[in-house]
C-alpha cells in the first residue's frame, strides 16, 4: 500500500490479488448455490440461509426435519465447504474496500482499513455460525446454537453488505473519474 493524501492506495500486485479473490469468491458462491439447491423446502424457503436465521431450536429442528437423509448430507457438505468461503469473500471485499477508499470523498475515504477489520469480523462470525449450525445438524438439543447462529449471521450479513456497498460506491466513483465524469 502506498500513502496518498493520508489514505491507503493499492499497488498493482495487490490489485491483482483483489481480482483473484473476487474471482474465487464468485466461483465459490456459484458452487455453494448449486450444491445448496436441494436445501430449499417449505420449511427452509431460502435454503441454508433459512437455517442460518432459524433463530430457535424448534425452527432449526423443523428445517432439519424437512430435509431427507441425503439432503442433510448436502447441508453438511455445504457447511463444510463454507469453512473456506469466509477467507475468500472477506479477502475479496476487504481488498475491494482498500481499492475503493482513495476514490471516496473526505473522511469516508479513510474508512477503508475499518472496512478491512469489518470483513475480518464477518469471517470470524461466519465460522461461529457454521459451528453452531453443524451442532444443530448433528442433533444437538441445546437451545444455544440456533440463536447464536442467528446473531452471527445477522451481524455478518450487515458487515458484508456494508463492505460491498463501500466498495461499490468507491469503485463507481473510480470508473466515473476514469471515464472523465
Q: What pLDDT, on a 0 to 100 scale, did the predictor assign at position 7?
A: 45
Closest by Cα among 66, 49, 162 to 112: 162
Pairwise CA distance, residues 21 & 44, whole Å = 30
Q: Provide mean pLDDT across the span 13-41.
A: 93
Give yes or no for residue 81 having a pLDDT over 80: yes
Residue spans per domain, the chain:
7-167
The model's pLDDT over 127-151, given as tens digits with 9 standing for 90+, comes to 999 999 999 999 999 999 999 999 9
For residue 44, which phi and psi values (nearest 5 degrees)?
-130, 70
Beta pairing partners, 7: 4
Residue 176 has pLDDT above 90, yes or no: no
User: CB–CB of 156/71 below 8 Å?
Assistant: no
Q: What is the 3-state secondary structure (H, E, C) of the chain?
A: CEEECCEEECCHHHHHHHHHHHHHHHHHHHHHHHHHHHHCCCCCCCCHHHHHCCCCHHHHHHHHHCCCHHHHHHHHHHHHHCCCHHHHHHHHHHHHHHHHHHHCCHHHHHHHHHHHHHHHHHHHHHHHHHHHHHHHHCCCCCCCHHHHHHHHHHHHHHHHHHHHHHHHHHHHHHHHHHHCC
Place of cell 490489485: 15
- Banded model confidence at residue 4, pLDDT cuts 50, 70, 90: very low
Beta bridge partners of 4: 7
Mean pLDDT for all residues in the chain: 92
Q: Is the pLDDT of residue 82 over 80?
A: yes
**Angle between helix 85-100 and 112-137 (nearest 10):** 160
User: What's residue 179's pLDDT?
Assistant: 81
Contact 103, 8 (CB under 8 A): no
Over the stretch 96-123, which tens digit does the pLDDT of each residue have?
A: 999 999 999 989 999 999 999 999 999 9
| pLDDT (average), residues 47-75 | 98
Higher pLDDT, 10 or 99: 99
Residue 38 makes CB contacts below 8 A (sequence gap 6+) with: 67, 70, 71, 74
Most confident listed range (1-10, 13-22, 81-90): 81-90
Assigned C-alpha cell, 128: 461461529
Residue 5's pLDDT band (cuts 50, 70, 90): very low
- For the chain, the straight-line distance linking the first and the last C-alpha, in angstroms and rounded, comes to 26
- pLDDT bracket for residue 153 (50, 70, 90): very high
Amino acid at each position: 500500500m502506498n500513502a496518498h493524501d493520508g489514505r491507503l492506495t493499492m499497488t498493482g500486485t495487490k490489485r491483482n490479488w483483489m481480482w483473484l479473490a473476487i474471482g474465487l469468491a464468485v466461483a465459490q458462491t456459484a458452487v455453494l448455490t448449486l450444491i445448496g439447491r436441494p436445501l430449499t423446502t417449505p420449511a427452509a424457503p431460502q435454503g441454508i440461509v433459512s437455517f442460518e436465521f432459524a433463530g430457535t431450536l424448534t425452527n432449526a429442528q423443523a428445517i432439519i426435519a424437512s430435509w431427507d437423509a441425503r439432503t442433510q448430507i448436502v447441508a453438511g457438505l455445504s457447511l463444510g465447504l463454507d469453512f473456506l468461503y469466509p477467507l475468500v469473500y472477506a479477502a475479496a471485499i476487504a481488498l475491494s474496500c482498500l481499492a475503493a477508499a482513495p476514490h471516496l470523498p473526505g473522511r469516508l475515504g479513510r474508512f477503508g482499513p475499518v472496512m478491512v477489520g469489518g470483513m475480518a469480523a464477518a469471517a470470524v462470525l461466519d465460522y461461529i455460525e457454521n459451528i453452531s449450525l453443524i451442532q444443530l445438524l448433528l442433533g444437538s438439543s441445546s437451545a444455544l446454537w440456533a440463536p447464536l447462529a442467528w446473531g452471527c449471521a445477522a451481524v455478518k450479513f450487515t458487515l458484508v453488505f456494508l463492505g460491498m456497498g463501500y466498495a461499490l460506491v468507491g469503485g463507481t466513483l473510480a470508473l466515473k473519474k476514469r471515464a472523465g465524469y
